[in-house]
Structure 1
Amino acid sequence: MKSKAKLLAVAPMIDWTDRHCRYFHRQISSEALLYTEMVVADAIIHGPRDRLLGHDVSEHPVALQLGGSDPAKLSEAVRIAEPYRYDEINLNVGCPSDRVQSGTFGACLMLTPAVVAASVTAMKAVAKVPVTVKCRIGVDEQDPEQALPELMSRVLDAGADAIWIHARKAWLKGLSPKENRDIPPLDYEIVYRMKQRFPDVFIGINGGIQTLDEAADHLTYVDGVMLGRASYQNAALLTDVDHRFYGRLESAPDWDRLRDVMMAYAERHIAGGGRLNHVARHMVGLFTGMPGARRYRQILSTDAGKPGAGPEVIAAAFAAVDLSSRQDEAMSA
């Protein structure tokens, strides 16, 4: 991760970036770095490991994000996860939810940089892949100009291979997790300054980035850009990632192939005891803004949840969209 290669990633998002979401996103971009939802170290140690850590080989490159504050438990979680062959292990130092705070990890770790550093040291001791940190610029009354570089210095001394920075404070009291994604003001400039201060370290930026043009602008200052809700709610945003950021030949999206691949994937999931809506719920935002997108959303949101629903629901949803206009738009972009 200390390489100077520019990187575009899809952020870890609780309840969203599960294995089905990642498989879907991988069909749209073969290069973007994908992240799991945050998985708590205790759950890995004591819970159903295959369900928590299993993923399709096609998801690579894919990173595992861990939650926790006990270095020994985090180290054990990394050891348990090793056979699953993730490409990176990331420590969450940014989630502000009440549940995470009650476990004294996530964003509240911004207040205890020594604990974060000890955790990174323990994880690095057993990890066979890069260990990274995703943090906020500060929490509550902290001064980001002091809190952020102190945390960064500590975790880098501990061996962290990269740092992803969500360019907002988190307010641990008074704001909900949803409000913490929108209300604290964005401060991209402090992230740029951290890159100037630590020029040899991979530093990525996250928070409020809506378009690939914005991503490209950020990459003139930092090494990586992490797209969050924008990539989930309008997954077609990812169709041009490989060309714009990884030098792949430009080509129009193959929507028929995407439909067929996702139908086959859904069929396998259902055959294994799953339900169609486990897969289809992540596909709802694909054609945002296109003729037929409303009907597409209705079909996936309603019909995919019905008992016995099968892959034919995906075919019906795609049939509701004017894919020719989508392709014309892509060709002229």
Structure 2
Amino acid sequence: MHVSRFIALATVNNPAKKKYLYAFNIIPMKSMDPAELVKQPQDVTENPYKRPGKDKADAQKATFGATEEEEPAHQFFFDLSRKQGGGSRGRGRKRPSDGARWGGDQQQDGDRPKQPRRHPQPSGPCWFCLASPQVEKHLVISIGTHCYLALAKGALTPRHMLILPIGHYQSVVELGSEVVEEMEKYKSALRSFYKSKGDRCVLFERNYRSQHLQLQVVPVPLDCCATEDIKEAFMVQAQEQQMELMEIPEHTDLKQIAPPGTPYFYVELDSGEKLFYRIQKHFPLQFGREVLASEAVLNIPTRADWRECKQTREEEDEACKQLRDDFQPFDFAWED
């Protein structure tokens, strides 16, 4: 999707002398780089004229811990598969939707810093944008400036959590530097928290058939299995499904091997080792959970599917309250 800008102008020669002319440059879309075309300003809002979703029941499928399956985005004005020449264009200010900003005053156009690349806004309701009315806020554990922490819906274990960006981003490779920095702080806090509970920390992300980044963070008891065993479990199960997980070299950034828009599966172990698979066509949606729930790791195979692990609202409330209390000493956002 690309952004459309709407500017309200007054009538010509109006008594209040309000602005009735606006000058701007237009660059043809066919001359723009696809990545530049789909950049999203920080305060962009959803299209108020979009068609309603297919079925409200479909939207109910997407909840914390269950990455929603979305339809392919329809692009009627530009073929993103074509390789086009470069180019750039300016954008005016957009009016932010309610709750879209978290602290800080709005800046004037001349003072606005360069915005990071943003994934297009969701074509329908997003269950993970914190300002969205669909988000299940009772599952939230901690809120930072750019990210927040939530209990996973249908969690593998009682301390299975998600790190999510407050704004709408599809994957880790599309995050701005300030969001990445805070996400790393949450990772560090969770590692310390899990260590105090006798657990090691396994993180994974599936950037496939999803529209909002969910970084799954699962604790594995230290006496359950070694990091090498967890790595081997991922490798073996991937091989069984004819997928080749590659190990990312140390100090190599994920963005270097997966440009924005690339579907992938990513694992980060407590040893610092990182595994990556570039998804080609099909990918088992529960792969990360299936590996960790397998006999080789947590040995809870019946919990591989999040839908089989649902709790009542009362049970979720109680679990979140306990988790917030336990995590509070490690929560840098609480200190701020």
Fold in common (TM above 0.5): no
Higher Cα radius of gyration: 2
TM-score for both structures, normalised by structure 1: 0.27
Between Structure 1 and Structure 2, which shows a larger proportion of helix residues? 1
